[in-house]
Chain A
Amino acid sequence: MIKHFLNLEWKQYFRSSYWQKNMVINILMVFFALYFVAMFLGLGFGLLFILKEMYPEQDPFVVANGFLFYWIIGDLLMRFFLQKLPVMSVKPLLTLPIKRSTVVNYVLGKSALSFFNFLPLFAIIPFSIMLIGDGYAVSEIITWLFALIITVLIINFLNFIIEAFSAESELSFLPIIVVVSVLFGLNYFEIVPMTSLIGSGFLAIAHHPMLILIPIAILVLCYGFNFKTLRKKLYLDSSLKAKVTEVNASDLSWTERFGDIAPFMKLDLKLIWRNKRTKSMAMLLLVGVLYGLFFYPQPMYREMTFMSAFIGIFSTGFFLINFGQFIPAWDSGYYKLLMSQNIKYEQYLRSKFILMVISVVLLFVLGIPYVYFGYKILIAHFAAAIYNIGVNTHVILWGGSFNRKKIDLDKKAAFNYQGTGAVQWLIGIPLMLVPMVLFGLVNWLAGFSAAIALLIVLGVLGIVFHKKLMKGITKKYLDSKYKMIDAFSQDN
């Protein structure tokens, strides 16, 4: 049976059109994975020295155990957002003569092989080797190592339990936030000293190997709980059923003032608000607003004036970039409908344009408090906003005519590369690099005001020639009509 399952798994992975079509993304993902592996390896080998350096008079092994609590909390939090139990994939197996318990064990067992479980090993194992090399008792460290591996698996299964609860509650983030903040609060306010409790727990296991039975028991409990809940849920009418959401209708009649593009504006707003992927993208607006806070509090960046132009472009254009790069792929699901309907392409594109302009203005206004870090920053942001409105909106719409990748609106945004192609990487050059280089160059040659003036002039030019530019862009879209229809009707 296991052989069949493994075979299916293998085929699912390598025959997915994702793998076959998207070599660049795959290479990138492998690169990311290798990056994390390297980071963890570095941590594993370096940790002993770092600890000796920072806490010279303490036992590094004891100190390391003191940090375990934070690792557990962090890991739990990260997994909640990134790791999901692959339940849907077993739907075809239900009608086959396979025992339900086998299917459940398979799903749970598969989750144990996740990348998230292997990643910590890259730090733990080298750290253990270093400890042994440093003269710690081999038997103690080996026991400790096993205890940690079991802990990783406990976190793995605990995460699914939390997810099961969050699936039932209205506010899906609530359970994880509650669990994490209660644990953290108990520790922080020293009601229950979780850090030292967990730390000494692991130390105790290291000294008395028999105690390893406790984490094993916890693991078995977690697994058993998952097994029971999952077994109950493996029916078409419970977890395997796609969720039906209640409509949230809001009054969008204010869009009427935009005249003939109003139907498209309404459609775009609904698109953003009612689909998982676009919704999480809209949440990223916050990141755009707060982006400057990563840089401006540090005096080093405040002195580099050209940085504020870059941050300005990025933070006022955050929505523009994230939304704009996938025009018209957002509508790929029903592109055929749009193409056979009585619509003017120009109206369709202008609706997207207006939406992006509104977002730039909004983000600029929300970013006004940055004036606290110096009036020059505000001026630079203003110039960047004008540039975004006049130039970048057109650039990104033009770039969109090269989009050939369908987007499935129901998948969420973080770590979702669907719809990403070479266009999305290349478009960044004119979008971000060109204004930055221009600004930096003029700033260096002729000073800050000249550089600001340049951005504003370019932006105003774009606004003045808006009609002309849109005509050219519309033609570009019309020219690639058949190619887009064909590409969007292909399943990923």
Chain B
Amino acid sequence: MIYTKDLSKTYNGTTVLNIEELTIPKGQSFGLVGNNGAGKTTYFSLLLDLIQPTTGNITSNNVVVDESEDWKPFTSSFIDESFLIGYLTPEEYFYFIGELRGQNKADVDALTAKFEDFFNGEIIGKKKYLRDLSKGNQKKAGIVAALIGQPEVIILDEPFANLDPTTQIRLKQIIKDLAEKQGVTVLVSSHDLTHVTDVCERIVVLEKGNVIKDLETNPATLKELEAHFAGGSVVSQEEE
């Protein structure tokens, strides 16, 4: 589904991302973890053609993303609050995204109705602009907007940050369902190791732009990741 080859991004001589090869099959829930500056958001931005790769490229469903725009109909994403249009209400925002993805109001209403629990009554029908919602509620709206129009690839950057515990648990279920039942390829990044291990079948650890671990999730994965991040510096010193 998503194939990355020789991808690198360099700013003023500093390489912030360098991935030789990475294949994400269809329907996989894929987790990306790493400390600040590891290159997670850079990778997602490259995947969405928001920045240009220095070398190499990403192919999504046989479409080279920086050459053609044909990946757009089946890809959706929520990276940060700059993906929201502040002066719209959540409903208007959903309808707008819906119209861009060929969904009418009824389709959008049917979809958002499924997320009543997730919204916890704080999003729909509140007569508030998105810019006036709390950070957590903005995030909820953004995440649900990314689910509109049956996308085949969904990219969520730090979806768990700023959410309350109940919502985090619900979101985990939503993401699992997407991958398992609907065959959607979900790409998630997070700082929270527990969440990623709960949700993702596969976890890739980035460090300074390089893939340093690629794990199939099993009961021992969380321990392994915790050990890695706790003693990261110690381990690397020992190796030298």
Q: Report if A and B associate in a common complex.
A: yes
Instruction: Contact check, B129 vs A334: say whether CB atoms are below 8 A apart.
Output: no
Question: Which of A247, A263, A274, A486 lies at the interface centre, i.e. has the most chain B CB atoms within 10 A of its CB?
Answer: A247
Q: Number of contact residues on A: which range applies?
A: 20 to 34
Q: CB of B215 within 8 A of chain A? A: no
B134 CB to nearest chain A CB (Å): 11
What bracket does the count of chain B residues touching chain A fall in? 20 to 34
Q: Is there contact, CB below 8 Å, between A342 and B50?
A: no
Assembly CA distance A218 to B129 (angstroms) = 43
B60 contacts across to A, CB distance below 8 A: none
0 or 1 for each of B78-105: is its CB under 8 Å from A? (1 = yes): 0100111111110010001101111000
Contact flags B51-81 to A (C-beta < 8 A → 1, else 0) = 1100000000000000000001101110100
User: At the interface, yes or no: A245 with Cβ under 8 Å from chain B?
Assistant: yes
Complex Cα distance, B97 from A343, in Å, reads: 10
Residue of B nearest to A242 (CB): B132
A341 close to B86 (CB less than 8 A): no
Knowing A336-B83, A485-B51, say if A342 contacts B129 (CB, 8 Å): no
- A334: chain B residues within 8 A (beta carbon): 82-86
**Other-chain residue from A246, A337, A340, A489 in contact with B85 (beta carbon distance below 8 A):** A337
Interface string of B165-189 (1 = CB under 8 A from A): 0000000000000000000000000
Partner of A333, one of B51, B85, B92, B129: B85
CB of A83 within 8 Å of the partner chain: no
Instruction: Give chain B residues whose Cβ lies under 8 Å from the Cβ of A247.
Output: 89, 127-129
A333 to B130, CA, bound (A): 13
Please tell me if B49 contacts chain A, counting CB pairs below 8 Å. Answer: yes
Q: List 11 A-B contacts (CB under 8 A).
A: A245-B129, A247-B128, A267-B88, A333-B85, A336-B82, A336-B83, A339-B49, A340-B49, A340-B75, A341-B97, A342-B72
Given contacts A267-B88, A337-B84, A340-B77, 18 further A-B contacts (CB under 8 A): A244-B128, A247-B128, A262-B99, A275-B87, A334-B83, A334-B84, A334-B86, A336-B83, A337-B83, A337-B85, A340-B50, A340-B83, A341-B97, A342-B102, A343-B72, A343-B100, A409-B86, A485-B51
Q: B interface vs A, CB < 8 Å?
A: 48-52, 72-73, 75-77, 79, 82-89, 92, 96-97, 99-102, 127-129, 132, 149
Q: Which residues of A contact B (CB under 8 A)?
A: 242, 244-247, 249, 262-263, 266-267, 270-271, 274-275, 333-337, 339-343, 409, 482, 485-486, 489
